[in-house]
Structures are given as structure tokens and as C-alpha cells.
Amino acid sequence: MDSTVSILVLAHVEPDGALARPALETFTAGADLAKQLGAPFVVGLVGTDTASAASIAAGCGAARVLMVNGAAFAQARYATDAAAAEAIARASGAEIILAAGTSRWMRVLAGVAERLGGCIDTHITRVVAESGTVSIARWYYRQRIEGVTSRTARPWIMAIEPGTHEAFAGAAGDVTAEPVAVSLPELRSEVTGVRSPASGEQTIRPDAALLLVAGAGWTKKQADGETHVPEAESLILGCLRASQASLGGSKSLVDLSGEGQAVLPFMTHLNQIGQTGSSPRHRKGLATCCHGEEPHVVGWRFITERRAVNLNANCGWAQGKTDVLYVADAFEVMRKVNEKLGKASEDRPREAGRS
Ligand SMILES: Cc1cc2nc3c(=O)[nH]c(=O)nc-3n(C[C@H](O)[C@H](O)[C@H](O)COP(=O)(O)OP(=O)(O)OC[C@H]3O[C@@H](n4cnc5c(N)ncnc54)[C@H](O)[C@@H]3O)c2cc1C
């Protein structure tokens, strides 16, 4: 036990004052680490309205809550976010600083570490303390190797990978948050709006239980010698709407869409799973019309239960890369799946009415 270690959990609040899931996951990581070290932890909040986030931090067991409030901190901006994080870190005197690896924090935390004379590690999936020694785990080489690191340099900033911890969901508590003064440099940038990638439909849902992956086979000539892209589109979108799954794609498929061909227009490079794509975390995954080559499957590292539908019994998935391979026509399978999903959603209100 090392009760001398001081821990800070940094979080930015959303424009409505809420804490997003990655922040709540970092609360869990901070509370667990504090418990293991027998040390208290402090929460530092940045945003316009931090009152409700402060109560949640208190409910999670924070000994103190520090806050940087004000309109200037509503927007993600390097100058204001870095100054706020630095001021909170100095006010807390913390040696270990945890923050969610959100795009907002990832832009500024390395700079904050430099200002504090400390160090930083990112994409952290686990933080543990054994006999008072704190170590972190993260994956390297596109999720193929897991490394465990311990450092003596302090302060040590840890950016926690979203999706790796349970989000804190306990009751709120009482706390008097302490304001921290920040001296801001001249502000030269302003966020004037948010532009999302062109995509007609919300298809990436990091919190979904299921990842539905579409491969290039959906756009290929089928047994009748024709392509059936409009039907492929309606089957994939039908499944997404009914199941609220997240949509992934193989590189071959997203490249086709990116080249402006009339194929699955809702597929962007953001959907790409794999070595040069992403490695999302979902409980289940279903690959359809996707061959299951290693550079693609490496992105399935964090999918717990895997199934694939492919016409080819010798496809990559059959080489031990999936729990279940259905050697079948994905068009037929997905028609049936969507029928069942539609029926299930029709049944749901009736069942609710009965109980
Ligand atoms: C350095 C490098 C990095 C790469 N990074 C990535 C990456 O990040 N992500 C990625 O995905 N790939 C990546 N690749 C490419 C990867 O090796 C494959 O080329 C790609 O994943 C193939 O995509 P696919 O399976 O959709 O297409 P294909 O290989 O064309 O496979 C289509 C499949 O659809 C099946 N099919 C066709 N019709 C049906 C039907 N009706 N029902 C069921 N099945 C059907 C076929 O049997 C076939 O197996 C990378 C390659 C390299 C060299």
C-alpha cells in the first residue's frame, strides 16, 4: 500500500453538463486504482456547467473535486484545454493523472505532460498497483502484442482507452467543488461548427452489443451473374436499424465506396476494421461477404464472440478465426435474420403489455 500517491482523474463535461461514457469509465479506473493503493483520488472537471458531474464524482468516491468553469472551456480548443488541465494538475499536486483517451484530451495531454515536466502514456487498457508499484497495459503492433509498463517519472499522465472499463453508474454524492483559477493566453482560435463525415446514416455505434461487418462480396456478381447492390444496401441497413448494431467494413469495400463508385454509399473509411482500420470493442461480431484475411481479422482482437457468413468453406474465417462459420449465401441469411429481427420488434410491445 502506498497512501502517499496522489491520483487525479481529469474529465471534460459535455455541453449539456453530462459526463460521456469515456469519462465515467475513467472514474472507475481512478477509483479502482485509489482502492488498490489505499490512496484518495481527486477529480478535476473542465466545462461550462460542471455541477452535476461534480456530484457524480463525489458518488464515485472522489475526496475532492476541482473545477475550471466558464464559457471559454465549453469548446475543445488547445489553448484553453491545455491551460485548464495544467492548472488542475498543479492545484491537485497529483503524481498520477488519468484522463479518457477522447479526441479532445488526446490533442492536449502530451503538451500538458511537457508543461508539468512529467510523462504520458496513451491507449491504456489496464492500470494496476501491486505492492505500491503502478503499472499500465496497452497493445502494440496493431493489437498483436500487449505490453506492461511501469515508470518512476512523475507526474505520470495516463490516457485511458475508451471501452476498456465499466462506466461508473452509482448514485451521485455531495461535494463542494473547488474552483481553480486559470490564466489564459490570448485566444486565437474559435470553433465555429462541427462538420461530420458525409454519411447519410449513423452507422458507427461504439456502445452496441453487435458489430456487423460487410465485405466486398456484397458488391460482387452473384450466382445469377449479376450484382445486387441495392438489395445489399437494404439488407445491411435493415439489420442495422432493427438490431442497432454498429457497422464495420473491410478495406476492399470501403475503398470501393471511397472511390465514388455507386456502392454502399453509407460506408466510409471510418467504418474500416483491421490493421489499417480500427479495432472496436463489441461483445459479438458477424462478418458477412468478407473473406477474413489476417490484415482484416487483426481488427477483431476485442470482439468476444465471432461469427461469419461466407459462400467459401475455405475462406480465412475457416482457419480458426471465428467461433462459427456459416457456409451460406449472405443475401439469404440476412433476409431471414431481418425477418426474425422485424418479428422480434413486433412482438416486443405485446410481451411488455402482458407483464
Ligand atoms: C498492409 C495491409 C493492410 C491492410 N489493412 C486492412 C484493413 O485494415 N482492413 C481490411 O479489411 N483489409 C485490410 N487489408 C486488405 C486485406 O488483406 C483484404 O484484401 C481485404 O480485407 C479483403 O476484403 P474482403 O474480404 O471484403 O473482400 P474479398 O477478399 O474480395 O472477399 C469477398 C468475400 O465475399 C464472399 N462472398 C461473395 N458473395 C457472397 C455471398 N453471397 N454470401 C457470402 N459470401 C459471399 C466471397 O466468398 C469472398 O470470401 C490490408 C492489406 C494489407 C497488405
In the three-class reduction of DSSP (H, G, I as helix; E, B as strand; rest coil), residue 64 is classed as strand
In eight-state DSSP terms, residue 24 is H
Residue 352 has pLDDT above 50, yes or no: no
Which residue has a Cα nearest atom 38 of ligand 1?
A: 217
Strand partners of residue 160: 100, 124
* Percent of the chain topping pLDDT 70: 92
* Angle at alpha carbon of residue 317, lines to 222 and 220, rounded to 5°: 20
**The domain 7-179 is classified under which CATH number: 1.10.3210.50, 3.40.50.620, 1.10.240.10, 3.40.30.10?**
3.40.50.620
pLDDT tens for residues 242-255? 999 999 999 999 99
Beta-carbon neighbour count of residue 261 at 10 Å?
12
pLDDT tens for residues 134-189? 999 999 987 889 999 999 999 999 999 998 999 999 999 999 999 999 999 999 98
* DSSP letter string, 99-166: EE--HHHHHHHHHHHHHHT-EEEEEEEEEEEETTEEEEEEEETTTTEEEEE----SSEEEEEPTTSSP
Give residue 196's pLDDT band: very low, low, confident or very high (50, 70, 90).
Answer: low
pLDDT tens for residues 60-85? 999 999 999 999 999 899 999 999 99
- Of the candidates 177, 174, 184, 194, the one whose C-alpha atom is nearest the C-alpha of residue 71 is 184
Q: How far is the CA of 211 from the centre of ligand 1 (A)?
A: 16
- Ligand 1 atom index nearest CA of 273: 9
Q: How far is the CA of 311 from the centre of ligand 1 (A)?
A: 13
Which residue has a Cα nearest atom 52 of ligand 1?
A: 295
Give residue 260's pLDDT band: very low, low, confident or very high (50, 70, 90).
Answer: low
pTM given for the model: 0.80
Which residue has a Cα nearest atom 23 of ligand 1?
A: 252
In the three-class reduction of DSSP (H, G, I as helix; E, B as strand; rest coil), residue 98 is classed as strand
- Ligand 1 atom index nearest CA of 223: 41
Which residue has a Cα nearest atom 18 of ligand 1?
A: 293
Quote the CA–CA distance of 220 and 225 in Å, as a whole number.
Answer: 9
Q: What pLDDT score was predicted for residue 190?
A: 86
Could you tell me how many helices (H) and strands (E) the chain has, helices first? 8, 14
Which residue has a Cα nearest atom 11 of ligand 1?
A: 250
Superfamily name with CATH number, domain 210-354: TPP-binding domain (3.40.50.1220)
In the three-class reduction of DSSP (H, G, I as helix; E, B as strand; rest coil), residue 293 is classed as coil
Give the mutation target among 143, 257, 289 for probing the ligand 1 site: most ligand atoms within 8 A of CB: 289
Q: How far is the CA of 164 from the centre of ligand 1 (A)?
A: 28
Q: Boundaries of CATH 3.40.50.620 in the chain?
A: 7-179
CA dihedral over 198, 203, 207, 211, signed as positive or negative:
negative
Ligand 1: residues whose CB is within 6 Å? Answer: 215-217, 220, 222, 250-253, 272-277, 289-291, 293, 295-296, 299, 309-312, 315, 329-331
- Scanning the chain, the segments in alpha helix (DSSP H) are 21-37, 51-59, 78-92, 103-116, 229-243, 251-258, 294-297, 330-354
Q: Boundaries of CATH 3.40.50.1220 in the chain?
A: 210-354
Q: What pLDDT score was predicted for residue 5?
A: 80
Q: How many Cα atoms sit within 13 Å of 352 on the Cβ side?
A: 6
Average pLDDT, the chain: 92
* Percent of the chain topping pLDDT 90: 83
- Ligand 1 atom index nearest CA of 276: 8
Residue 262 has pLDDT above 60, yes or no: no
Q: How far is the CA of 295 from the centre of ligand 1 (A)?
A: 9
- The residue that leads in pLDDT, 99 or 144, is 99
Q: What pLDDT score was predicted for residue 355?
A: 28
